[in-house]
A and B are shown apart, each in its own frame.
Chain A
Amino acid sequence: MAEIVISNLRKEFGAFTAVQSSSFKIEDGEFFMLLGPSGCGKTTTLRMIAGLELPTSGEIFIDGEEVGQKPASERDIAFVFQMFALYPHMNVRGNISYPLISQGMKRGEVREKVAEAAKILGIDDILDRPVSGLSGGDRQRVALGRAIVRNPKCFLMDEPLGALDAEFREHMAEELRNLHDRMGATTVYVTHDQLEAMQMGDKIVVMNHGVVEQFGTPQDVYDKPATMFVAEFIGAPSMNFLKFRDSVKAGSTSVQLQHQTLDIPALRDPFEGDLVYGVRPEHIRLSDQARYRGEVIASEYLGTTQIVTLLTGNGEIKARIASDQPARVGEQVGLDFDGRTVSLFDAQSGRALRSELNEGVLSHV
């Protein structure tokens, strides 16, 4: 089991900088998500932890030992790829045994280890079946078996569920998380799927253009985004951004938009200039009394809830409300924002302003 510390890690490919200067810490036993859009540097970061790429500069510590320039074989980690490859001519047992046999482990011991791994994964009944006839889920379990049988210090996974269809992905996500809870091994997991990250992770690192934008628990990253990029990337539909100009003092608990006073969490610093009022769709209620007005231009029915799109003086706003609440297209309605949950951003830098809501989280960004 392992604690992994990444310090000022940088990777250049020729003139292209894939990872600029990442620093974060993965605690022993954590399920840790590297999240971001394609090209953000998440896979490169994972490959550097694995030893499949060597960093241009910076350090990687596994259990206190600096391994940045060591080859993969000396790091005692297991890598699960997006496209898991099994040996088609071998049966399940052969596939899972392979890493142990190639290490020169004794037959009896191999049998024992394989039985143990198979039991954890619930595939002990198919050990003697050829892998070619297996379902997608069982193939994935065999690939995992091959990783866990070595009992490595940590698991690195690169979108292991990316190739599966939605329904099955959700099922495997739960299974992976349960497996992690049973084994307690440090796991670093790369994904571009924000829901997967929220659902499975103990901590999330959000990356963009090779830069770590935020690092924290899923709930903190969602509720207290450090930047507009994070606020937009996590959550579907995204956080609404209402652009406005104002001058606010330290301690302010409201701002002026469209000549209306809207609540915000108490600000810690003064600010003057272009601002963005960030509010999540589920923190907007439609109410006849509210003085901030908008026109319903569309509603998307989702069963339990519906997404209502409104045209306001600040552009289009999406609200998530209960589906039994009426929202007719063309209707003028009032919008009530839950001020406790609002983030204010500096429009220029995209960074969140420090407030009562987020100061605890922003201080260690």
Chain B
Amino acid sequence: MSEVVLRNVTKTYGDNIAVDQVDMTITDGAFVVLLGPTGAGKTTTLRLISGLERPDQGDIMIDGRSVIDETPAERNVTLVFQQYSLYPHMSVRDNLAFPLRSPMLKTPEDEIKKKVAEVAEVLHIEHKLDDKATTLSGGEMQRVSIGRALVRRPEIYLMDEPLSSLDAKLRADLRVELKRIHANLGATLLYVTHDQIEAMTMATSVGVLNEGRLVQFGAPREIYENPVSLYVASRLGQPRINTLPADLFAGSPNGAVTVGLRPEHIQQGEGKRSTVVRVEHLGDQTRLHLTLDGHDIVTLADGHTTLEPDDTVDIQPRNALYFDANGDRVAQGGQP
């Protein structure tokens, strides 16, 4: 496993700048998640590192050497795609062994056997090794396709939304599994997703992309608690951060145009009077839809709340986030 460094990397397709001067260091053993909506440049970044695309500008280094002129095979990286593609006529065992049997690697058969057994155990598919790939469920197929990457020990594992086609339960299980695999193998991973839960729960560092630019890079907690802009703040958090005019409440700092309120930034019991529009019981959380001076606000309530529509709740901000007219974060003098 190795460190991967991107220096000033730019990639354009015609007039469209897909990746815009990205500088990023993926340290050895890190689990980096790139987060952003469709079109932010996440997948292009992966393809640039894997060698499927060539940057117009900038340099990519793996383990200290520039790999710009190397083919994907020479770079020794593995890529897991969103849509699993297994060889349908082969057994699970042969699918897993396939990358090791490539003429470039020339792995001895007994070593292949050992590696396949190891990976099958990690992914809990030992009992399926002799089944045809086509007889597996969707979740099992995706585990095999992740397994096919894991049998190799590349410099870095690159994963492009590998869980997005799975149902919610399985996604949650595989999140935990991937995190465990990362910890056990000490692997370096770069993982692309638009799912904030995946980013928050698995990453050692999150990179937030906006229109090809890397706008913030840091630990999940850092990104959530200390976003540099309104854009970053809106990427994380469920329910989504409320954005309101800064002067709606007293005490906003100079230059602030917008105040961003997450549920934990809204203190209930004192402050301005708001009206309950709807109480939404989602089981693990109860969402309170409020209206205050014509602004919609969503926050959380206790599961046993007795609040009903048309009730009133007094609210005030606590350690809120403030942003200027460009959406950049405004420092709060004196406030933590």
A interface residues, Cβ below 8 angstroms from B: 37-38, 165-167, 192-195, 198-199, 218-219, 222-223, 233-238, 280-282, 298, 300-304, 307, 320, 322-324
Contacts and interface: CB of A to CB of B under 8 A. Distances in A.
B271 interface: no
B307 interface: no
Contacts of B38: 165
Contacts of B282: 195, 198-199, 218
20 contacts: A165-B194, A167-B37, A193-B168, A195-B282, A199-B282, A218-B282, A219-B283, A235-B283, A236-B169, A237-B172, A280-B283, A282-B303, A300-B200, A300-B201, A303-B237, A303-B238, A303-B262, A304-B238, A304-B300, A322-B264
B37 A282 contact: no
The interface centre, meaning the residue of B167, B169, B221, B285 with most chain A CB atoms within 10 A of its CB, is B169
Contacts of B262: 303-304
B284 A282 contact: yes
Given A223-B283, A281-B284, A301-B200, 12 more contacts: A38-B167, A167-B194, A193-B168, A198-B282, A218-B283, A219-B281, A235-B283, A236-B168, A236-B284, A282-B284, A302-B200, A303-B238
Given A166-B194, A236-B172, A320 B284 contact: yes
Contacts, number: 74
Given A218-B283, A234-B283, A303-B238, A195 B168 contact: yes
Contacts of B201: 300-302, 307
A346 B314 CA distance: 45
Nearest to A236: B172
Contacts of A304: 237-238, 262-264, 300
A301 B281 contact: no
Given A38-B167, A166-B194, A198 B281 contact: yes
A222 B280 CA distance: 13
Contacts of B168: 192-195, 236
A37 B283 CA distance: 19
A195 B300 CA distance: 16
B185 interface: no
A302 B167 contact: no
Given A38-B167, A236-B168, A301 B220 contact: yes
Per CB-CB distance, the 10 closest pairs between chain A and chain B, nearest first, are A222-B283, A300-B201, A219-B281, A303-B224, A303-B237, A198-B282, A235-B283, A282-B284, A304-B264, A304-B263
Nearest to A222: B283
B236 interface: yes
Interface residues of B, number: 29
A21 to B, nearest CB: 26
B248 interface: no
Interface in B25-42: 37-38
Interface in B89-115: none
B136 interface: no
B308 to A, nearest CB: 13
A199 B201 CA distance: 23
Interface string B284-328: 110000000000000010010000000000000000000000000
The interface centre, meaning the residue of A37, A198, A302, A324 with most chain B CB atoms within 10 A of its CB, is A302
A294 B7 CA distance: 46
A165 B38 CA distance: 9
B150 to A, nearest CB: 21
Contact of A303 (B172, B194, B200, B303): B200
The interface centre, meaning the residue of B197, B262, B281, B283 with most chain A CB atoms within 10 A of its CB, is B283
Contacts of A324: 264
Nearest to B167: A192
Interface in B238-277: 238, 262-264
A167 B236 CA distance: 11
Nearest to A281: B284
